Amino acid sequence: MKINRRDFLKQTLLASASVAAPNLIPASALGRDGAVAPSERIVMGGIGIGGRGGYDLSVLLQEPEVQFVAVCEVKKARRDAVKQLVDQTYNNQGCATFRDMREFIAQRRDLDAMLIATGDRWHTPASILAMQAGLDVFCEKPSAMSVAEGQALVATARRYGRIFQSGIQRLSEANFVFADQLARTGRLGKVHTVYAHLLPFQMKTDWLPAEPEPDPNELNWNLWLGPAPWRPYNRGYLGGCGAWLNYYDFGTGVAGWGSHTICQCQSGVDALDSSPVAYEYPGREDFDFFTCRFANGITLVLNTEGWSKPGVRGMWHGSCGVRYEGTEGWVSVADGYQRPEVSSPALLREFDKLVRGYQEQSGRPLHHIRDFLRGVRTRRPCVANEMVMHRAMSTNHVTNICMLLKRNMRWDPAKEEFIGDAEANRMRTRATREPWHV
C-alpha cells in the first residue's frame, strides 16, 4: 500500500493526540462526588414487587450503593410497571424481567441480594431459593407460613452464611425503639403486661367459586398459587389490599399484623430469642384480648382496637400500636405519633438520650433497609434477622393453632413443640404443593 508524506504525518498526529488526551470518565463511574463506583454497588433484583414491595423498591432506588437490575413477577402489568420505574430512575433500559423465579435466580448470577415482597405463601420458598443461590435476602413480613417454614429458613440462612432481614421495620423506628428502651432499662419498673395491636380479619378455610382463568401471559395462576393448595381462579382473591389475606390457604391469620406488633412486644421484654409458653383461648371467634404468657410471667395481650372497647381505657391511637405497662409507669406508641404517650412527662425528657444510647450500643441505623445493606457489607446479622423473625412468627402461628383448635395450649420454645397435644404438633407445618416443599 502506498501512502504519501502528508497522509503519514496526519495519521501520526491523530494517533499521538489519542494517547495524550485524557479519557473523559464520569465522576460517578469513579465513585467521586458522593457516588458509589459500579464495582462497589450492591446488585439487587426483586421478586413480587407490588404494594409494600413498591415502597421498598422506591427506597432502594434512592440508595447510591444499590443497583437494581431485574424483577420477577407473575403479573405482566406489574412486571412492566416495575421495569419502567427502574429504567426511568437509571435513565437506561437495563432492568430485565422474568415470570418464573426459578429461571430468574438461575440466570442472574450477577446478583448480590434479593428483595422479596410476594404474597405470604411465597416468602419462605423464595427466600430459601435465593439463599441457596448465594444471595442475601430482604423479605417482607410475615416471612414464614408455619413453624416448620421458619425453622427451614433459619437453617438455610445459617448453612449458606447469608444475611436475612425481615421487613419488621418498626424495630428500626425511633419512637418504637424508645418505648422498647423504657421497658428494657427499668424506667417503667417491672413490666408485667404488654399489648399488641391486631387488625380485625377473617381466617376463612373455604374458597371462592371457579371463574375462567386469565391469559397466562397476563397472569400465570399456577405460579400465583405456588406452594398453596390448588384452588380455582377467582378474581376476588386479587382485590385491593390483599383480598387473599382473609383465606388461610394463602395468608397467615393473626400473623398478617402480629408479625409487626408481636415482634415489637417481644423486643420490649427482651424475648426476641423466645416465645410465650402458655396460650389461652378467648372463647370466641375473634382474637380480641387473646392472652399468652412468657415463662417469666409477663402477659402478652392481643387487641384489635385498643381505644374503643367498653370499660377499657384507650391504649393507643393509630395502627400497629403497642403498650408496655410496668409497676412504675407505662408507654404507648403507634404509627403516626410525633412522640410516644407515657405515664409521666418526665419519661419523654430522655427520648434523645435513650435512642442515641441504643444506636451507640447496637451500631445500627434507624433505617430498616440501610440496616440490611450494612449487613450485606459487614456480614453482621440484621436487627430483624432470621431467628428474630422465626421466634416472633412462632408466637403468631401458635396463636393461630390455638384459635383453630379452640383450646388452651402449652408451648415449649426450646423444643419448639406443643406440650401434650399431638394434634396441635401436626399443625406446626402446612401441606405444600410440588415442587415447592422446603
Q: What are the angstrom distances between the C-alpha of 432 and each of 15, 178, 426?
A: 67, 40, 14
CA-derived radius of gyration, the chain: 26
For the chain, helix (H) and strand (E) counts, in that order, are 14, 15
Q: What is the pLDDT of residues 365-390, one digit of tens each?
A: 999 999 999 999 999 999 999 999 99
pLDDT class for 8, splitting at 50, 70, 90?
very low
pLDDT of residue 27: 42
Give the residue range(s) of CATH 3.40.50.720 domains in the chain.
36-169
Q: Tell me which of 4 and 184 has the higher pLDDT.
A: 184
Least confident of 190-199, 237-246, 320-329, 344-353: 237-246
Share of the chain above pLDDT 70, in %: 89
Residue with cell 397472569: 219
Q: What is the pLDDT of residue 178?
A: 98
- Residue-wise pLDDT tens digits, 175-220: 999 999 999 999 999 999 999 998 776 678 889 999 999 999 999 9
**What φ, ψ does residue 332 adopt, rounded to 5°?**
-130, 145
3-state SS of 117-133 is: CCCHHHHHHHHHHHHHC
Q: How would residue 314 be classed by pLDDT, with cut points 50, 70 and 90?
A: confident
What is residue 50's predicted lDDT score, i.e. its pLDDT? 84
Cα 150 to Cα 40, 142, 265, 327, distances in angstroms = 32, 10, 19, 35
Structure-model confidence comparison of residues 234 and 36, the more confident one = 234
pLDDT at residue 16, as a whole number: 46
Look over the chain and give the mean of its residue pLDDT values, rounded to a whole number: 89
Q: What is the DSSP code (8-state) at residue 252?
A: -
Confidence grade of residue 242 (pLDDT, cut at 50, 70, 90) = low
| Portion of the chain with pLDDT greater than 90, in percent | 75
C-alpha–C-alpha distance, residues 394 and 266, integer Å: 12
Q: What is the mean pLDDT of residues 131-140?
A: 98
Q: What is the pLDDT of residue 181?
A: 98
Residue 387 sits at the vertex; the CA angle it makes with 169 and 168, to the nearest 5 degrees, is 10
User: Are residues 417 and 394 in contact, defined by beta-carbon separation less than 8 angstroms?
Assistant: no
Q: Residue 401 and residue 142: Cα distance in Å, rounded? A: 16
**pLDDT tens digits, one per residue of 285-305:** 788 889 999 999 999 999 877
Rounded average pLDDT over 72-80: 95
Which positions ≥6 away from 390 have C-beta within 8 Å? 144, 150, 151, 153, 154
- What does the pLDDT read at residue 115? 98
Q: Where exactly does CATH 3.30.360.10 map onto the chain?
A: 171-365+387-438
| Amino acid 205: pLDDT | 84
Has residue 403 got a pLDDT over 60? yes
The CATH number of domain 171-365+387-438 is 3.40.50.300: no
- Position 19 scores a pLDDT of 41
Q: Which fold has domain 36-169?
A: Rossmann fold (3.40.50)
